Amino acid sequence: MRIILRHFLLAMLPLVFGIAAGWGFAFSVPSCGRLVGPVFGPKCHWKQLEYQIQFHMGGVALGCLLAASLGAGMELRRRRAVQRATPTGGAS
């Protein structure tokens, strides 16, 4: 069960990073007026959504890189543990 939980949490990293990046952008830029200025503020709703989607994608990409590196590290650690546990040949 511990292995399943570990893999589930590792697979959730990109989703968590993407949501966090999107929320971070949404809360740091509360209105279009702050993003492009008061003149073009009413016309920039789609631009704000585009930027938020880009932040989501960046967060997901960062989460994927982190999950891949953590997964590779865990796999190498597991392989080393298995190699130490099995004898490396000897007289039978």
Q: Can you tell me the distance from the alpha carbon of 74 to that of 80, in angstroms, rounded to the nearest whole number?
A: 10
- pLDDT, one tens digit per residue, over 33-73 is 777 777 877 777 788 888 889 999 999 999 999 998 988 88
pLDDT band at 21 (very low <50, low <70, confident <90, very high): very high
- Domain segments of the chain: what residues? 2-63
- pLDDT, one tens digit per residue, over 72-87 is 888 888 778 777 777 6
> pTM for the complete prediction?
0.72
Nearest Cα residue to 21 out of 63, 74, 66, 72: 63
Task: Check residue 36 and give its pLDDT.
Answer: 76
- % helix, strand, coil for the chain, step of 5: 85, 0, 15
Q: Can you tell me the distance from the alpha carbon of 6 to that of 4, in angstroms, rounded to the nearest whole number?
A: 5
